Amino acid sequence: MLRKRRIVIASLFIVIGVIIGLAISSNFNFLSQGYTEDKISKDAVDLLTKIDKATEEVANASKPAVVNITSTTTVHMRGIQSPFFEDPFFRQFFGNQFRSFDMPKDFKQSGVGSGVIVDNKGFILTNNHVIKDADEIKVTLPDKKVYKGKVVGTDPKTDLAVIEISATNLPVMKLGNSDDLKVGDRVIAIGNPLGLNQTVTSGIISATGRANVGIADYEDFIQTDTPINPGNSGGALVNVRGELIGINTAIATSSGGYQGIGFAIPSNMAKVVMESLIKHGKVVRGWLGVSIQPITPDLAKELGVKDEKGALVADVMDGSPAEKSGLKRGDVIIELDGKAVTDTTSLRNMVAGITPGREVTIQYLRDSHPKTVKVTIEEMPAQVQQPGKFDNQLNGVSVQNITPDIRKSFDIPQKVTGVIVNEVDANSTAAGVLTQGDVIMEVNRKKTGNVLEYQAIVSKIPSNQNILLLIYRNGSTLFITLQK
């Protein structure tokens, strides 16, 4: 009886074990099939696979034209200077070995960036800051071949540069039309972030026409969320057709690393600069000859301008294309060659990109009435190309002509003529001496009736010379000096 009971119990355990085994087997079989497979449709998998494949094709087609650029710069730095090294008592014990600290010290500093081959003759487009002041430039192609780079031309105002290598049959990236970009378009960035060659990242266009970022003088940036890090500078921003639509330039971050905001110079702007650098060795910019200011809500109401769009002509320079065409102070420029002028920055960029000698059509408002005029754009005079940038004590001082509105706002008497200071760089020698709103009437006893006269005078002052200014400030005129 006891034996039968044991057999029954054993059989029961066997049955239970089989049931548990089947359950476990079934569960493992469920896991092996993958729980997510029941949640993701084949269509979704196929679509994402196609997207991945497309991105891979674009990247593989574009990468051969993106190069690594290593620049070496000599940094001049004085050694440690201390009165202890000149003390006879100190030298009695330690000799003259420490006097070497007084000698100038030079050391080599290396930087890494990226570039894009834009011509099979060996021309490479990159950022100016990648090769600035470089004593030696090395260009490494994706196939690991290394070439010596030669600077063809640089343009600090857009932070662009063209270098050249002695090589043939190079892969070239086609330039796309950056004006066709739309917010949300997919793009990929290719470069050498943090020295990691041929890195590809992807994202979308976050915005276009970004200005007043503080990176360059002429700004019309593409903003993207595509990860961009140090070393990406000068690399390619590519559209889905594998075309170059931007030169990656900077990131907006407080940490120095990627935080979701990157900027690229549009290919259309880069093309104009590149072609001018290759042809002339410098950038030849168009010039209209007007001082312009933004349209505020109050001004828009008074001038009959809708949507506060356009650029208000604050002054017209003597002998300029604008004066020859009949443009006047108070006109509001709203269109140039069929392209809308949204603000002062857009007009400035458009005019600068026009080849001198070309005739354009300008639409403007005068007394709320639309008018049209033909203007032949001229080359920007040399003294206008670097406003506020001089090799003397007035470097970093930005000025503009005194308009009727400015004269009224600052309560400047009619007898006071000159240029008004609108900004003083914090690192300028004039910081703390000149201030916004000062009117510079004379420079070294020479009258400065307008910006052109001011720049012509200041540009000839050497860096080692003191500058005497006659200024108008708060109802009084006074002489001040800027010491070298």
250-259, 331-340, 445-454 — most confident range: 331-340
Domain spans in the chain, listed from the N-terminal domain onward? 42-283, 286-380, 383-482
Exactly one of 62, 233, 276, 428 is catalytic; which is it? Answer: 233
> Could you tell me which of 139, 137, 125, 122 has the C-alpha nearest to residue 67?
139
- Whether the per-residue pLDDT at 2 is higher than 60: the answer is no
Active-site residue, selected from the candidate residues 114, 129, 178, 346: 129
Cβ–Cβ < 8 Å for 136, 71: yes
- Torsion angle in degrees (nearest 10) through CA of 149, 152, 153, 154: -10
Catalytic residue among 159, 315, 331, 438: 159
**5: CB partners within 8 A, 6+ apart:** none
Active site residue 179: no
CB atoms within 10 A of CB 277: 23
Pick the CATH number of 286-380 from 3.40.50.10890, 2.30.42.10, 2.60.120.560, 1.10.940.10: 2.30.42.10
| 129 tagged catalytic | yes
Of 383 and 333, the one with more pLDDT: 333
| Per-residue pLDDT at 253 | 61
- Does 467 have pLDDT greater than 70? yes
Lowest mean pLDDT among 119-123, 231-235, 252-256, 319-323: 252-256
**Is residue 159 annotated as a catalytic residue, yes or no?**
yes
- Cα–Cα distance between 268 and 291 in angstroms, integer? 25
Asked whether residue 430 carries a pLDDT value surpassing 70, the answer given is yes
Please provide the CATH number assigned to the domain covering 383-482. 2.30.42.10
458, 391 contact by CB (below 8 A): no
As a whole number, the mean pLDDT across the chain is 83
More confident residue, 12 or 112: 112
Using CB atoms within 10 Å of the CB of residue 88, give its burial: 0 to 12 exposed, 13 to 18 middle, 19+ buried: exposed
pLDDT of residue 385: 47
Confidence of residue 149 (pLDDT cuts 50, 70, 90): very high
Percent of the chain clearing pLDDT 70 (strictly above): 82
The reported pLDDT for the residue numbered 64 is 94
Residue 196 or 384, more confident: 196
Q: Which helix or strand (DSSP H or E) is residue 32 part of? A: helix 2-33
Residue 84 has pLDDT above 70, yes or no: no
pLDDT reported for residue 77:
58
| 251-271: average pLDDT | 79
Supply the pLDDT for residue 334.
Answer: 92
pLDDT at position 90 is 47
pLDDT in tens, 177-224: 998 999 999 999 999 887 788 899 999 999 988 887 777 778 889 999
CATH of domain 42-283: 2.40.10.120
Sign of CA dihedral 315, 221, 350, 277: positive
94 — pLDDT class (breaks 50, 70, 90): low
The reply to whether domains 286-380 and 383-482 share a CATH topology is yes
Which pLDDT score, from 0 to 100, does residue 189 have? Answer: 92
pTM: 0.67
